[in-house]
Amino acid sequence: MSANGFPLGPFEDYPGNPILTPSTGFQSKAVFNPTVVRDGGRLWMLYRAETEDGLTGRIGIAQGSDGFHFSTHPEPVLSPDEDFDKGGCEDPRVAKVGDTYFLIYVGNSQKYHVSNICLATSRDLLSWRKHGPVLEARKGTWDSGQLKAGVILPERINGRYIMYFMGEARPWVSAIGIAYSDDLYHWEEPVDEPVLLPRGEFFDSRGIEPGPNPILTDEEILLIYNGWGEDCIYKTGGVLFSKEKPAEALKRTDEPLLNLSRDYGDTYGTGNHCVAEGLLRDNNQWILYYGAADRLVCVAVYEEGE
């Protein structure tokens, strides 16, 4: 257990940040909100990319070997071309189950003017098959506005897969809900209320959303999440859910798990957001991947035993 009473953290910013910056083409304006998965001896990062001309929401991919240095692919691997995501494909999270990669992403529908949680699958991380929305907003509920930030646990709990996700009825006022699936393709939300709420007087007083995919420990489910207050600046926290009752929160951090060492927002004229979406273990080192100021990919590190 770390000094903050949470199994991981606090994380320290990597001095070589940022590790990925905008370049040309589909990623000329921004590269941010990354997820990372290990495939054999290689690491693959999927991230959200935007262009200077206002076209948004393509998902790019980069390859690395050491967790800190990545080379980007010249073309996106997922682009907006369906009714459910023509407004953008954003904020990927990926998990491997068996020999299939499951990519959960935000699909912005131009037709219905709403964001939903969408699914795509792949065997090689480069070619993806879209399956459309797997969770959608429901009228008259706590999450009637939009759904985002779905994260799945690759292991079954009580015979089923679980997903934590962000739901909201009003913009910027959000909570975390839970959904269940038998096959990872079809999801249902049987609980008509959130499983985690914002907290007054804390860094996450106004809204929260899941960050990287949850991690199953011997007794608990560990979830790193992003929260914000009245300033709407994202910060990273952590919560432990019960392994036997995944909708029951057991412990939660009072302070952010990471304090940024630089003000990237001042450079780009944006909020100095820290939006964590990727987490990788390398021996006794945990690497947290986050989007900084909606422009860059950065990392922070926690060494077990410190």
Residue 152 sits in a domain of what CATH number?
2.115.10.20
Q: Quick check: helix, strand or coil at residue 44?
A: strand
Q: Look at residue 51 and give its three-state secondary structure.
A: coil
Q: Is residue 61 part of a domain?
A: yes
**pLDDT for position 1:** 46
Mean per-residue pLDDT for 192-206?
95
pLDDT value of residue 46: 98
Tokens of 149: 């930030």
Give the tens place of pLDDT for each residue, 114-152.
Answer: 889 999 999 999 999 999 999 988 889 999 999 999 999
Distances (CA, A) of 273 to 39, 265, 269, 300: 29, 7, 11, 14
Q: Please report whether residue 85 resides in a domain.
A: yes
pLDDT > 70? residue 37: yes
Alpha-carbon distance values, 256 to 169, 184, 200, 253 (Å):
25, 31, 15, 7
Q: How many domains does the chain fold into?
A: 1
Examine residue 47 and state whether it is found in any structural domain, yes or no. yes
Is residue 306 assigned to a domain?
no
- How many CA atoms, within 13 angstroms, populate the side-chain half-sphere of residue 195? 27
Domain span including residue 164: 12-300
Q: In this structure, is residue 182 part of a structural domain?
A: yes
Residue 305, in any domain of the structure: no
Q: Please write the tens of the pLDDT for every residue from 146-197.
A: 999 999 999 999 999 999 999 998 888 899 999 999 999 999 998 889 999 9
pTM: 0.96
- DSSP label at residue 78: B
Peptide bond into 7 cis (omega under 30): no
- Give tens-digit pLDDT for 4-21: 678 999 999 999 999 999
pLDDT above 70: residue 88: yes
DSSP codes of every residue in 180-223: EESSSSSEE---SS-SB---TTSTTSSEEEE-SPPEE-SSEEEE
